[in-house]
Amino acid sequence: MASVTLLEIFLAIISFVVVRVLLNKNGQPIYWPVVGMLPDTLFHLHRAHERFTEVIERSGHTFFYLGPWFSRVKLLGTVDPANVHYIMSSNFSNFPKGPEFSKIFDVLGTGIFNSDSEWWKNQRKLAQALINHRRFHQFLVKTSREMVEKGLVPVLDHVAEQGSVVDMQDLFQRFTFDITCILVTGYNPRCLSIDFPEVEFSKAMDDAEETLFFRHLTPEWFWKLQRILGIGQERKMKKAWKTLDRTSAEYISRKRKQLNNQSPFSSDDRSEGVDLLTSYMTETQIMGSKPNDKFLRDTIVNFLLAGRDTTSSALTWFLWLISKNPQAETKIREELKASLPETEAETWRIFNPEELNKLVYLHGAICEALRLYPPVPFQHKAPLHEDLLPSGHRVNPEMKIVLCLYSMGRMESIWGKDCLEFKPERWITEGAKIRHEPSYKFLAFNAGPRTCLGKEMAFIQMKTVAAAIIHNYKVQVVEDHPVSPNISIILQMKHGLKVRISRRWI
């Protein structure tokens, strides 16, 4: 009799599941007893960004997600521009990153991207003063051109001569890691060379980012248990963390010795600018006091994470989109040629950042790539106090609010019926000027008080690289190469971007 009862219970459960699935005609995640909406997440994990886009669009731009009962996961996902503006700008003080963010991103220490309140304000003020300083801008312009000419071009020429296939995502990551290292620490790790050496620090950052993404999907107690036992993703994180600490300490020690062994800077010494680490360690007027090694370590890791991954991601997706849209590539090439003297239009050329600032179509193409494939595909906030969003949704401190940038660029109601198309023209006015879109609609560089300090830096690097490649080379994506976004906190290509390269000029 007991066995019949168990069988009946089992059949009842199966029937319940089947009925729920069949009746779920709107395609939204089903909320199951005990496990919440986790089954839908696991089922669609391989296409998480696309799934969230489907769900958020069917929900009218805002969706409430509930995890398993034991996880306390409560998320409010939104792409509503009014909500974004409210959270990021008009009521900014009530929506910090929050303590949960600090726990998840603990590897960043108390750096600028992982801090809130007064500590964040102080760090931002310092970083803003140093990044906007004339000396750093000079160093940025000089380094960007030199790294393209002496770092990127020799590798591209080598690949072209060999007729070999190269992963442009890997190449861009190496390029941006080298250039960011130079700008932040003054040291070139030479990650970008024809030998394609493995760089321990760069590999550690990849492993850390992968772990950070999975921390978003698992209860805190679970990943903390993994950490204690030294298993799973947390084992990777522990090893990566040690590498980041050790390498940062080497950068700091090298810089300290360099500064101690040279005479005080004269105006001539600084005529070509200085790196950020030098400024942090010597600009006593701006800093107020001498920074300790922990502060310098956190600053280095935060800046390298931001500079390496976001720019390389943007360049990878940009190049792929250009390869799929030859008309856009032709327009960029014609715009570049038109900016040159007639005698130089059909010759090998590296462009100066100042020349590229005038190019409207190139700027629009980069913005369009960032709209469709934002390097940081989502970010989350934690309300300090209960609040009512403009969409009518009530939030409280027990929730996380997730802003999905990837989905936002694919909303017809925000960007029009052609939202899935790559159209640089949408960024150009009738008067052939660059069209400004409000940051709460185009969130690639954040919005409000936390607007990205490195926005100009990123555009200079992206334009310099894009112009050098499009003007001087032909890039062909390998036939049938699979392209899809990976699952990480940075939107990279899961399988890289395999291409063949040939020179346009001898």
Q: Do the annotations mark residue 452 as ligand-binding? A: yes
Query: How far is Cα 294 from Cα 304, in angstroms, rounded to an integer?
Result: 15
Query: How far is Cα 403 from Cα 408, in angstroms, rounded to an integer?
Result: 8
First to last CA, the chain: 86
Return the exposure string of 307-339: e unless at least 16 CB atoms fall within 10 Å of the residue's CB, then b. Answer: bbbbbbbbbbbbbbbbbebeebbebbbebbeeb
Cβ 282 vs Cβ 430: under 8 Å:
no
What strands, in cross-sheet order, belong to the sheet with 473-477?
Answer: 165-167, 498-503, 473-477
Taking alpha carbons only, the member of 434, 428, 457, 433 closest to residue 445 is: 457
Query: How far is Cα 387 from Cα 395, in angstroms, rounded to an integer?
Result: 5
Give the residue ranges of DSSP H helices in 283-396.
284-287, 293-324, 326-338, 353-356, 360-372
Give the number of C-alpha atoms closer than 13 A to the C-alpha of residue 160, restricted to the C-beta side: 18
Query: How far is Cα 25 from Cα 133, in angstroms, rounded to an integer?
Result: 57
Q: Which residues pair with 66 in a beta bridge?
A: 74
Distances (CA, A) of 15 to 3, 9, 21, 219: 18, 10, 10, 30
Tokens coding 139: 């160093």
Query: How far is Cα 363 from Cα 379, in angstroms, rounded to an integer?
Result: 25
Distances (CA, A) of 485 to 49, 214, 233: 8, 15, 20
Give binding residues for heme as ranges: 452
Q: Which residues are annotated as a binding site?
A: 452
